[in-house]
Structure 1
Amino acid sequence: MRGVDQNITGIGALADPVRQELYLFVCAQPGPVSRDQAAEAIGIARHKAKFHLDKLESEGLLEAVYARLTGRTGPGAGRSSKLYRRAAREFAVSLPSRDYLLAGRLMADAIAESARTGAPVLEVLRRVAAEQGAAIGGGALTDEGRPATPQAALDLAVGALSEHGYEPRRERTRVIMANCPFHALAEAQRELVCHMNHALITGLVESLAPPKVEARLEPGDNRCCVSLALGG
């Protein structure tokens, strides 16, 4: 039962709200972060950030790497700094986020409707996934209605996708999804899951501000196959 005990202990480390906020901040960054960056991001003292980050590392939720923040090497370059990133290990409670229940429901609905109507199952899956995305987008809208600008629409989409485990990260002119909530299914049925993801995220952004934000099918390693960009 050692693995179970380690999982319970590791997840228990997130019970502290400051520790949880630090963990979420580190996971949201495109690269490893320093203690100073983490402390500034959530507004705590550096020594507190160090204590909590080291605790998260000791419990297996984060891992540390060492690098010179200046980028220089050789004499006079200074000491390497300790940086933190999310550990590669997966926990039984699913970190990173997985939502196989949602995937199963969408696929089951599509199969049932296909059997009833004779429509191609992939076509139906795309439609029900788009409807699910539109429901998520509708839930993200405020009382003010749809966003007034393309950037505001993109920000709203990023927030909604963050809440559903996609871990969106900004990369210059696009936003990639660092996590696929349907990872294990994508490993087995990549094309099917990628098209389902694309339909879901397209439905979401179109419910917010069509055509201000575009969902693109851009498969890549170790991330979701869909990215976002501002429409032309």
Structure 2
Amino acid sequence: MDLELVGALGEPSRRELYLYVRRARRPVTRDEAAASAGISRKLAAFHLDKLVTAGLLRAEYAAPGGVRKVGRQPKVYVPADTQVQVSIPERRHEFLAGLFLEAILGQRSGEAGTEAAIRTSRERGRELGAADRAAARPGRLGAERALTFCREVLERLGFEPDRVSPTRVRLRNCPFHPLAAQAPDLVCAMNQQFVTGYLDGLEVTGVRASLDPREGECCVLLESAAASPRGT
């Protein structure tokens, strides 16, 4: 989780060591790291190993500069292929970008770009729903259980779903803001079709995803097909 990675960088010396290793663009020894931060080798080793545990650095054994020496090679550190990005509320621009790219690459003859994006969103949602159903094997899903499933996946995607009643889930955050503000009709339609596709893949028929935009929230509302008129 990105917040945990950020927590690992909260200690000033540890953050300085991490940035030093990233800037070095080569394996860094404990002695080099300690000298760069002006701390003891033991303390540097402690912080470096914490960064390895957090997944921000990788440790290996190799001689500095690639010159192999007799005996055991020193422990060195290199950056891991981990990107740290934190936004509160959560933003998922890379997910939206992936949908757009997939839509462009899979655009059909005579299909408008917006149509391709909306279709791709539904297909991606259906694939995810089918995968979750295959993994969980939930059997027949009533509306309330289906909303629970949806709430979990939408939480992971940053929509901040709020179970406002047993038959209704409102999405409190748009993870594609502020891009959604530039093309609300397109992005809201993609959101709705993604969730609708997820319901299809989950093989749910008693829940609908409808557009119900509100200021500062996502535009999609999930509710039981038998729900009473909309409230909260």
TM-score by length of 1: 0.57
| Pairwise CA distance, 1:10 | 11
* Partners of 2:131 and 2:214 in 1: CA distance: 29
Q: Deviations over 1:12-60 (max 9, x none)?
A: 2999xxxxxxxxxxxxxxxxxxxxxxxxxxxxxxxxxxxxxxxxxxxxx
Indicate yes or no: 2:118 matched with 1:126: yes
Q: 1:5-154 counterparts in 2 under 5 A? A: 11-12=6-7, 93-114=86-107, 117-141=109-133, 142-154=135-147
SS of alignment partner, residue 106 of structure 2: helix
1:163 aligns to 2:156 (yes or no): yes
1:217–1:226 contact (8 Å) kept in structure 2:
yes
Following superposition, the deviation at residue 132 of structure 1 comes to 1.1
Change (3 A) 1:150 1:124: same
* Cα deviation, residue 118, structure 1: 2.6
Match of 1:46 in 2: none
* Residues 111-146 of structure 1: per-residue CA shift (max 9 Å, x gap): 3433x6231122211111011111222232244244
CA contact (8 A) 1:215 1:227 kept: yes
Q: 1:176, 1:228 within 8 Å by CA — same for their partners in 2? A: yes
Question: Which stretch shifts more, 154-163 or 170-179?
Answer: 170-179
Q: Is the 8 A contact 1:147 1:153 kept in 2?
A: no
**CA distance 1:120–1:93, change in 2 (3 Å):** same
State the SS of the aligned residue for 1:194. Answer: helix
Please report the RMSD computed on the Cα atoms of aligned residues, expressed in angstroms: 2.7
Match of 1:176 in 2: 170
Is 1:225 the equivalent of 2:219? yes
Gaps of 5+ in 1: 1-7, 16-90
Measure the CA separation in 2 of the matches of 1:13 and 1:179.
27
Q: Which amino acid aligns with 1:219?
A: P
Runs of 5+ consecutive residues of structure 2 not aligned to the other structure: 11-83, 227-232
Q: Answer yes or no: is the 8 Å Cα contact 1:217–1:227 preserved in 2.
A: yes
1:213 paired residue number? 207
Q: 1:196 is matched with which residue: 174, 178, 190?
A: 190
Q: Please say which structure displays the higher CA radius of gyration.
A: 2
Count of matched residue positions in the alignment of Structure 1 and Structure 2? 149
